A and B are shown apart, each in its own frame.
Chain A
Amino acid sequence: MAAESPTSVRKVVVHLRATGDAPILKQAKFKIPGTDKFAKVIDFLRRQLHRDTLFVYVNSAFSPNPDELVIDLYNNFGFDGKLVVNYACSMAWG
């Protein structure tokens, strides 16, 4: 559970997790200011994977709106001190 601290100070640990046949990133964990929008995580993923088309979702079966603040996503879906963000490149399951 995130400690209640001013969102301007707090950084959130994000863990990017490849699913399906998506490539695994060498650098899959990073910190991002809580006040940043989720769009920054998506853009980071796109640049790292050199792809525009990604399906991005968090563990609670939810594809976050890019305008959501990372701190809000962490507070709602974070666990064990981090926010896990899953990504897939194709829709093939399994």
Chain B
Amino acid sequence: MCLATLEVFWTVIEVMMDVCNWDGTVSAKDFRIGALSFAQKWESLNSAFPPWSWVPCPKHSWLASHELLQEEGYLSLENICISRPNEEDIDQNSQTDPGEEETSCSEKEDDIDDATLVQSNHHELHYCDFHVVYSYTFRVPVLYLRAYCSDGRPLLLDEIEKELPACSSKELPETKWAFITQEEHPYLKRPWYKLHPCGTSEFMKLLFLGGDTAQPKLEVVLELYLLSWFSAVGQVVGLTIPCKMLNDR
């Protein structure tokens, strides 16, 4: 083989190997680009929810590493009402029909849409703030959440699990690809809950490489990363995205 052909050969191999050897993570820069693109698509295609905003967190450092000079920040979606219509108000004495709730997941879109919010005298409303923050340790996005009552009192995890049952330890997969822990918010320095990121790179590899279609190019993977990640993680906390967000057909 002549040199030119060999170079082409290795370039092709390199491109192919990029995705095959991909470890399921993203750089901070790709996270930021993906986050902004995700927020844009959400605003235009997921109007059942309010839009996300990007909160910049400028950091100054004497270490002039390329990534440190990039603007850091996170995505924020706040004041989302997570309260379900209270069954106690329907009939305090009757048993809930066991057949009713089994098949579908809770209809979160109805709960969160203010226009259909069910209010009652007995049931205090609960709200939640969601942040998507980049983890430099795991090199993946992480969903942080903080829930509270209308008077500002923070909710404890068991109270949160009542409103968002999909995030309880009973419902999250046994393999713990996403479990909830409490940790200090990396920018706000207050205790928040988060979906632990240790399984993220693995399910991201599955999402992109586990299908039976041709392997995507790495740059396509990085472009779609936030969207794909959120399609899985958002379901755990009742934030759903319509499938058309991932499809430009």
Which residue numbers of A lie inside 8 Å of B, CB to CB?
17, 19-20, 37, 39-40, 43, 52-55, 57-68, 72-73, 76-77, 79, 84, 86, 88-93
Q: Is the CB of B206 within 8 A of A88?
A: yes
A77: contacting residue among B171, B172, B216, B247, CB under 8 A: B247
Q: Is the CB of A93 within 8 A of B202?
A: yes
Q: Is the CB of B207 within 8 A of A57?
A: yes
Q: Is the CB of A57 within 8 A of B232?
A: yes
B173: contacting residue among A20, A55, A61, A77, CB under 8 A: A55
> Cβ of B228: which chain A residues have Cβ within 8 Å of it?
61-63
How many residues in B have their beta carbons less than 8 Å from beta carbons of A?
40
Nearest CB on B from A1, distance (A): 10
B177: contacting residue among A52, A55, A86, CB under 8 A: A55
Instruction: Indicate whether A91 sits within 8 Å of B206 (C-beta atoms), given known contacts A53-B174, A65-B240.
Output: yes
Q: Is the CB of B175 within 8 A of A20?
A: no
> Cβ of B177: which chain A residues have Cβ within 8 Å of it?
55, 91
7 A-B residue pairs with Cβ-Cβ distance under 8 Å, sorted by A, are A57-B207, A62-B246, A67-B240, A77-B243, A86-B206, A89-B175, A93-B210
Nearest CB on B from A92, distance (A): 7
Among B217-249, those with CB < 8 Å from A are 221, 224, 227-228, 231-232, 235, 240-244, 246-247, 249
Q: How many contacting A-B pairs (Cβ < 8 A)?
A: 110
Q: Is the CB of A66 within 8 A of B175?
A: no
Nearest CB on A from B177, distance (A): 5
> Cβ of A88: which chain B residues have Cβ within 8 Å of it?
206, 210
Q: Which A-B residue pairs are the 7 nearest by beta carbons?
A: A53-B173, A59-B211, A91-B202, A65-B240, A63-B232, A61-B228, A19-B210
Nearest CB on A from B75, distance (A): 19
Q: Is the CB of A63 within 8 A of B231?
A: yes
B107 interface residue (CB < 8 Å to A): yes
- Bound: A72/B173 CA distance, A: 26
> Cβ of A89: which chain B residues have Cβ within 8 Å of it?
175
Q: Is the CB of B206 within 8 A of A72?
A: no
Q: Is the CB of B207 within 8 A of A63?
A: yes
B49 interface residue (CB < 8 Å to A): no
The residue on B at minimum CB distance from A15 is B212
The residue on B at minimum CB distance from A59 is B211
Q: Is the CB of B246 within 8 A of A61?
A: yes
> Cβ of B232: which chain A residues have Cβ within 8 Å of it?
55, 57, 63
- Bound: A55/B229 CA distance, A: 12
> Cβ of B107: which chain A residues have Cβ within 8 Å of it?
67
Instruction: Indicate whether A57 sits within 8 Å of B210 (C-beta atoms), given known contacts A65-B240, A68-B243, A91-B199.
Output: yes
Q: Which one of A62, A73, A77 has the highest number of Cβ atoms from chain B below 10 Å of its Cβ?
A: A62
Instruction: Indicate whether A62 sits within 8 Å of B243 (C-beta atoms), given known contacts A55-B177, A67-B109, A86-B210.
Output: yes
Q: Is the CB of B240 within 8 A of A86?
A: no
The residue on A at minimum CB distance from B102 is A43
